[in-house]
Chains A and B, each alone.
Chain A
Amino acid sequence: MEFSEHIKTANVEDVVLRRPFYQPTKGTLCVTGHHLIFSNRGGDSARPFLLLLRNIDAIEKSVENLLGYSRLFSSTGQSQRPSVSSGTITLKCKDLCVLQLDIPGMEECLNIASSIESLSSLETVSEMYPFFYRPPFLSLQDQWGLSSTEQHYAQMKEIHDGWRVSQVNRDYSVSPSYPPAVIVPHSIDDETLVKAARFRQGGRFPVLCYYHRETGTVIMRSSQPLSGANRKRCREDELLLQAVIDGSELGYIIDTRSSQQAQQARMTGGGFESKSCYRGWKRLHRQLEKGKVLQESLIKLVEACGDQSHSVDRWLSKLENSKWLSHVQTALSTAGLVAECVERDGHSVLVHGSEGTDTSLLVSSLAQLILDPDSRTLAGFLGLLEREWVQAGHPFQQRCAHSAYSHVRLRHEAPVFVLLLDCVWQLARQFPLAMGFSEPLLLRLAKEVYASDYGTFLCNSDQER
């Protein structure tokens, strides 16, 4: 399908653009396959304003073509040209920016609105802008990404005795959402891994994500075991976990669901590690919200921030009502718990929720940030995100299809990654000298996951990419 089919009106003159922190400007609006381009020729800003259509979350339009209304509106400061119909499009972006376009001519306005609507919700990955974007300073032959499992393994010389890199998933047959290479205990062969993977949802068997040098303990993550209603067991999975705590007497399993939720999961084939089968592992439950609850929380938060009614009480009650900060608090305290287990008690930890692609990643990456100074440098942090989120199979495309303004019915959207960024920001507030990066990086990341020129956050897993 050609982009041009969606574009009914490509160019409109005399459009007024209003955006926060800027004076309203008049210029020409142009719709292309991926962008909205606004330029005011002869104006002081030489660079045209570019907006990725993918970034648009919601679009609202209002059309005026009655003469009587124009007088009404002139009192509120709207520049209405008499006897000419016109319309206003409000664009609410996924990076939470709100733009307003005043477009002369009702037909043009409606055309542009419908073009934007259809172009911004294209679902085919290969039609998205990163496939067309060629930054002048990068070529496709260059190395893609900053960190890989192999590099990560090579950096940690201490673990080479006890751990190895397994290529068991090289054709993505064992786990479609895992990267081709993972780090596992040395004593476990690939065959055992394949069997253990069958016992875990999505084939996400326990893999190493962090090794703590001081205590020699590790953080692992996985998905839930498929023990089901009749308490199935898997010899290989138990072996794998036993190999992890080999030598020390105790390990902790941090389940990011409440124990009630874990019990319920058994009805649908999921479950948890029972005490009798996994000797030496102690299970702790910490309930982290995800999915729809989190998305609704963000929607409420953004609504509270956009509320123009000036009362502190209302703001605080809306903030409280959104529960967003409670989610931040739980995520951070759970990560703190993991860090304490590893650092203070010297026990290894396995983190999992149900699928192991959302809250488990959140907790494991935050715990690494707390424990490891290297991951708090700029390169280390980006490497961490790449390993723990991009390669570990956080379904970015599903989770970030829409943001807080969208009226579309929710499917898989959940701002887990945004929650991570908020948690990192909170950490940076408490330890302002500990982070090798600053707030703008986090803001930029929050924008890039939703709409980007780059392909890093496209798709749901390594395999699709």
Chain B
Amino acid sequence: MFNRNVENVRLIDTVTSRRASVGTLYLTATHTIFVENETEILTETWVLHSLVFSVEKQASTTTGCPLLVRCKNFQVLQFVIPQERDCHDVHVSLLHLSRPEHYEELYCFSYNANSDREDRRKAWDFINLKAEYSRMGLPNHLWKLTPANHHYKVSDTYPADLYVPKSATPPVIMGSSKFRSRGRFPTLSYYYKENHAAICRSSQPLSGFSARCLEDEQMLEAIVRSNPRSDFMYVVDTRPKLNAMANRAAGKGYENEDNYSNIKFHFVGIENIHVMRNSLQKMLEVSEAHFPSMSYFLEGLESSGWLKHIKAVVDAGVFITKAIAEEGISVLVHCSDGWDRTAQVCSVASVLLDPYYRTLKGLMVLIERDWVSFGHKFSHRNNHLNGDPKEVSPVIDQFLECVWQLSEQFPCAFEYNERFLITIHHHVYSCQYGNFIGNNQKERTELGLQEKTHSLWTYLWKNRTDYINPLYRPDHSQTQGVLRPLTAPYCFKFWGALYNRFDRGIHPRQSVMEYLMAIREETQQLEEQLASHEMKILNVEKQQKKSVNLETNMFDRSPAVWASPPSNSSVGLANTPGDYSGLGGFLKSPYQQKEPENSLLILPWPQELRKPTDPDLSTNGDDQESGIAGLSCLSPPNEESAKDPDSDETAYSAA
């Protein structure tokens, strides 16, 4: 295998397309590394092989042979390699390295492999779906956990633990699963505690033109009955009607309202994975354009149709949210197989319905539940292995973008920020963590991911300070309960921060978010400092009590207590910087009387100098001697003057 470095490679800046940096290109087992050798500080560009989307060798020119590397996280690197032979070698190696044939070759199996087994297991337990279902209030008198799919007997793409209506008997489940694509029978996705309405999901029924299945009809009836306050349910088919009709010819299709009692059928019209894949390609072309005119950009964005698709998903989520929260009607969602559009729509509805999913941990749980456990085909859709390019589609990308669009409309409602969504997007493709490897739970268990790889969620949780939205206000009335977003076309914006992630030149030059986060961090540090200072003061006060007791006599007898120190009690309450000045005055007053030649006036600490930020500012302990110099300046820090053995001595001697 090719494993060496190529020197004198130029990396062209794709935004300005003028500047190029010269350096050395290294190919390792896991990364492509470009090290700039011109600059004083080593600048390195690392690209994971699993992130490489395409490698393109272009016609060589006089300066060398250009190699264009496109990444799944929208980074585009253009190298110019002096020798055509080298370029060819790099090209072939990269093609090979970026398309592994087997799961075991993926980066996550070699990433930090030698860590403690016990720690690793604990890390995987961080997100626990059982705890999630019991958070929703399950199982209860309406819904139960069914053992039907243990060992993945009924459906190999479903998780082992599934919740079904209490009245659904094993024969009904079995019968219903036989009537659904890939055995994905109707099961619970989200349960709305407040009014018992539920979001259920399944795959399409194998109805063809006229087929019926009694058990499937009973299954839906059981779902209707599990919501005591309603007498019907919605069945939402997320496909365009035409696609659903076409499926009927293949023996699949959709529910006939005549056969199922008490259902209302509804098409949503989200396009299939192939349309979405092409749409993203078109949009990326627009976003990569150098210096586009306004018309080119808007026309390109329009013809890509991307925002239209995003809107369709959000619209579907809004429809379900209305049905659940306002009407109190349960909903069954399906598409063809029930792992792409269904996952999108169910999870968007969950985010709208439940504030929990707008927290950091909540979004992790949601992705784990609706996507990972219910068998979204991550490895196929995100092209982890060398597979069918027709299976690739940006399905979870669209979900993350939907969440982003919502967070733009409700900036105070989400605990996480844009960076959190972008990081998840990155790792869905990176294969650095085991969470998104494989296509369903069965495959994941067989691969032993929990033993051999790490979990992304614990990594994100450890670094959560990076992902906190400083504007998050959980107690705000608008952020509580159900979100009701506007879905007018102009509410959907182009997400430059993701799609032009690496084009530094075009981002806003200042970020309010980062500014706020810096302030937040600073405040936190200040509070910690304040706390530690308060502790010190308390200690000092304890020590001082003894000396104060000694001095009491002197105080009482002295006719000139004009410095009028604050009472002892207020010293104990000192919790603002302003109060320290009083303390300082208190401590100083005895010396004043006894050392008139120094005539140190104790002025109140000037307001603008009261800076708890800078403890050094007040370490001006030697002004006891130079009374005049310290006149309008700072009074000596309380703890130091108290600790100062000399001053104590003077006090004693004076007494």
Bound: A344/B113 CA distance, A: 53
- Does any Cβ of A come within 8 Å of B489's Cβ? yes
- Does any Cβ of A come within 8 Å of B61's Cβ? no
Bound: A329/B299 CA distance, A: 16
- Does any Cβ of A come within 8 Å of B488's Cβ? yes
CB-defined contacts of B508 to chain A, threshold 8 Å: 429-432
- Does any Cβ of A come within 8 Å of B298's Cβ? yes
- Does any Cβ of A come within 8 Å of B490's Cβ? yes
Interface residues of B in 157-209 (CB under 8 A from A): none
Beta-carbon contact of B510 and A316 below 8 Å:
no
Residue interface bits B288-299, CB-to-A below 8 A is 1, else 0? 000001110011
Q: Interface residues, chain A, CB within 8 Å of chain B?
A: 305, 310-317, 319-320, 323, 325-326, 328-329, 429-434
Beta-carbon contact of B302 and A317 below 8 Å:
yes
Bound: A376/B488 CA distance, A: 33
- Does any Cβ of A come within 8 Å of B555's Cβ? no
Tell me, rounded to whole Å, the shortest Cβ–Cβ distance linking A425 to chain B: 13
CB-defined contacts of B510 to chain A, threshold 8 Å: 430-434
Bound: A432/B510 CA distance, A: 6
Bound: A328/B298 CA distance, A: 14
Beta-carbon contact of B512 and A311 below 8 Å:
no
The 9 A-B pairs with the shortest beta carbon distances in the complex, nearest first, are A315-B489, A316-B302, A320-B298, A312-B308, A326-B294, A432-B512, A312-B489, A312-B307, A433-B510
Beta-carbon contact of B295 and A314 below 8 Å:
no
Beta-carbon contact of B293 and A326 below 8 Å:
yes
If A314-B489, A434-B510 are given as contacts, then 7 extra A-B residue pairs at C-beta distance below 8 Å, sorted by A number, are A312-B492, A317-B299, A319-B490, A320-B302, A323-B294, A432-B510, A433-B515
Instruction: Show 22 residue pairs from A and B whose CB-CB distance is below 8 angstroms, ordered by the A residue.
Output: A305-B490, A310-B487, A311-B308, A311-B489, A312-B305, A312-B308, A312-B492, A314-B489, A315-B489, A315-B490, A320-B298, A323-B295, A325-B294, A325-B298, A328-B294, A329-B294, A430-B509, A430-B510, A431-B508, A431-B510, A432-B508, A432-B512
- Does any Cβ of A come within 8 Å of B311's Cβ? yes
Q: Interface residues, chain B, CB within 8 Å of chain A?
A: 293-295, 298-299, 301-302, 305, 307-308, 311, 487-490, 492, 508-512, 515
Interface centre among A313, A316, A325, A329 (most CB of B within 10 A): A316
Beta-carbon nearest neighbor of A309 in chain B: B489
CB-defined contacts of A431 to chain B, threshold 8 Å: 508-510
Beta-carbon nearest neighbor of A328 in chain B: B294
CB-defined contacts of A313 to chain B, threshold 8 Å: 302, 305, 308
CB-defined contacts of A316 to chain B, threshold 8 Å: 298-299, 301-302, 307, 489
Bound: A326/B298 CA distance, A: 10
Beta-carbon contact of A319 and B487 below 8 Å:
no
CB-defined contacts of B295 to chain A, threshold 8 Å: 320, 323, 326
Bound: A315/B293 CA distance, A: 18
Beta-carbon contact of B489 and A310 below 8 Å:
yes
Tell me, rounded to whole Å, the shortest Cβ–Cβ distance linking B547 to chain A: 50
Tell me, rounded to whole Å, the shortest Cβ–Cβ distance linking B267 to chain A: 16
Tell me, rounded to whole Å, the shortest Cβ–Cβ distance linking B349 to chain A: 19
Tell me, rounded to whole Å, the shortest Cβ–Cβ distance linking B409 to chain A: 15
CB-defined contacts of B294 to chain A, threshold 8 Å: 320, 323, 325-326, 328-329
Tell me, rounded to whole Å, the shortest Cβ–Cβ distance linking B279 to chain A: 12
Bound: A323/B509 CA distance, A: 25
Bound: A311/B308 CA distance, A: 7
Beta-carbon contact of B490 and A433 below 8 Å:
no
Bound: A433/B516 CA distance, A: 11
Beta-carbon contact of B298 and A319 below 8 Å:
yes
Beta-carbon nearest neighbor of B315 in chain A: A310
Tell me, rounded to whole Å, the shortest Cβ–Cβ distance linking B497 to chain A: 13
Bound: A54/B20 CA distance, A: 59
CB-defined contacts of B298 to chain A, threshold 8 Å: 316-317, 319-320, 325
Tell me, rounded to whole Å, the shortest Cβ–Cβ distance linking A336 to chain B: 13
Bound: A314/B301 CA distance, A: 11
Tell me, rounded to whole Å, the shortest Cβ–Cβ distance linking B293 to chain A: 7
Which of the residues A310, A320, A429, A433 comes within 8 Å of B299, measured between beta carbons? A320
Beta-carbon nearest neighbor of B506 in chain A: A430
CB-defined contacts of B490 to chain A, threshold 8 Å: 305, 315, 319
Tell me, rounded to whole Å, the shortest Cβ–Cβ distance linking B486 to chain A: 11
Tell me, rounded to whole Å, the shortest Cβ–Cβ distance linking B512 to chain A: 5
Beta-carbon contact of B488 and A310 below 8 Å:
yes
Tell me, rounded to whole Å, the shortest Cβ–Cβ distance linking A339 to chain B: 14
Bound: A315/B301 CA distance, A: 11
Tell me, rounded to whole Å, the shortest Cβ–Cβ distance linking B48 to chain A: 31
Tell me, rounded to whole Å, the shortest Cβ–Cβ distance linking B514 to chain A: 10
CB-defined contacts of B293 to chain A, threshold 8 Å: 326, 329
Bound: A326/B512 CA distance, A: 26
CB-defined contacts of B492 to chain A, threshold 8 Å: 312
Tell me, rounded to whole Å, the shortest Cβ–Cβ distance linking B588 to chain A: 43
CB-defined contacts of A314 to chain B, threshold 8 Å: 489
Tell me, rounded to whole Å, the shortest Cβ–Cβ distance linking B632 to chain A: 32
Bound: A67/B307 CA distance, A: 46
Bound: A363/B519 CA distance, A: 36
Interface centre among B299, B302, B487, B489 (most CB of A within 10 A): B489
Beta-carbon nearest neighbor of B309 in chain A: A312
Tell me, rounded to whole Å, the shortest Cβ–Cβ distance linking A320 to chain B: 4
Tell me, rounded to whole Å, the shortest Cβ–Cβ distance linking A341 to chain B: 20
CB-defined contacts of A432 to chain B, threshold 8 Å: 508, 510-512
Bound: A431/B515 CA distance, A: 12
CB-defined contacts of B302 to chain A, threshold 8 Å: 312-313, 316-317, 320
Tell me, rounded to whole Å, the shortest Cβ–Cβ distance linking B42 to chain A: 30
Bound: A320/B301 CA distance, A: 10
CB-defined contacts of A317 to chain B, threshold 8 Å: 298-299, 302
